């Protein structure tokens, strides 16, 4: 999954000489937490809601409203922005980008093409959209969390069971995080079966794997059945 397919291309920017007051208004109007800062069309920094709060916090308790508004109108973005921001490429993967955001404790990053041109931004919001899309949670269905042997064919075995019960697999995800040696966790979301047949499919899967839990999204409210803590 490449950044260019998920990034926000409708980029809102500010200039280095824009005032703090203008920027606060823009961030509220556009409901964003980060704005790229340009100077002569080139990215030179970013400004976040965190930067704005930090810049105004020390004076907010000692100034009246008119004095504070005057102060905010005089402070320039170039004086409070984060310089040399972390950026990503459109050809980076979303997974790599998520790792960068987590490691650097930032909410998003500008996206620059090979020539250094700003072509978009990617934030936690876009990454959440990716998570929703790849897991298929917006398509309802039933999620089976399994503990499988880490060997060729183990996923096919449970997939065959699901097909035998006329289930259609929307997503298959796996993780080794926290799994016992020689095992891996697999999460399969299934559609095409009704609630009355979920138990039969669960029982059939238990013949091939350890079923950790089942989350049924077929009704008005999700129902979770925990079968194993492994």
pLDDT at 51: 82
What pLDDT does residue 57 have?
Answer: 54
pLDDT band at 212 (very low <50, low <70, confident <90, very high): very high
The pLDDT of residue 69? 60
Q: Measure the CA–CA gap between 129 and 197, rounded to whole angstroms.
A: 30
Residue 220: pLDDT band with limits 50, 70, 90: confident
| Stated length of the chain | 230
Q: Is pTM, for the whole model, over 0.85?
A: no
The HSE-up count of residue 131 (CA atoms within 13 Å, CB side) is: 7
pLDDT at 146: 98
User: What is d(CA 25, CA 73) in angstroms, rounded to the nearest whole number?
Assistant: 11
- Look at residue 64 in the predicted model and tell me its pLDDT: 52
Q: How many helices (H) and strands (E) does the chain have?
A: 8, 11
pLDDT for the residue numbered 33: 86
**pLDDT tens profile 25-75:** 898 899 888 999 999 999 999 999 888 877 765 554 554 555 556 566 678
Q: What is the pLDDT of residue 141?
A: 93
Helix (H, G, I), strand (E, B) or coil at 227: coil
Query: Tens digit of pLDDT for each residue in 143-196?
Result: 999 999 999 999 999 999 999 999 999 999 999 999 999 999 999 999 999 888
What distance, in Å, lies between the first and last C-alpha atoms of the chain?
30
Q: What's the pLDDT band for 219 if we cut at 50, 70, 90? A: confident
- Closest by CA to 209, choosing from 165, 150, 129, is 150
């Amino acid at each position: 999954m490449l950044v260019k397919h998920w990034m926000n291309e409708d980029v809102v920017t500010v200039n280095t000489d824009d005032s703090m007051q203008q920027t606060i208004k823009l961030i509220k109007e556009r409901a964003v937490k980060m704005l790229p800062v340009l100077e002569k069309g080139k990215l030179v920094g970013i400004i976040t809601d965190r930067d704005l709060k930090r810049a105004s916090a020390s004076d907010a308790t000692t100034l009246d409203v008119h004095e504070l508004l005057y102060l905010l109108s005089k402070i320039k973005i170039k004086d409070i922005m984060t310089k040399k921001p972390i950026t990503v490429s459109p050809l980076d993967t979303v997974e790599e980008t998520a790792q960068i955001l987590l490691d650097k404790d930032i909410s998003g990053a500008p996206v620059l093409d090979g020539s250094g041109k700003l072509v978009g931004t990617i934030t936690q919001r876009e990454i959440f959209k990716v998570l929703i899309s790849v897991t298929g949670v917006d398509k309802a269905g039933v999620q089976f969390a399994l503990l499988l042997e880490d060997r060729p064919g183990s996923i096919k075995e449970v997939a065959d069971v699901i097909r035998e019960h006329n289930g259609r697999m929307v997503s298959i995800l796996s993780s080794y995080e926290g799994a016992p040696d020689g095992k891996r966790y697999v999460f399969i979301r299934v559609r095409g079966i009704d609630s009355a047949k979920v138990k039969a499919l669960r029982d059939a899967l238990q013949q091939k794997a350890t079923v950790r839990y089942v989350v049924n999204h077929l009704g008005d409210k999700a129902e979770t059945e925990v079968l194993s803590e492994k």
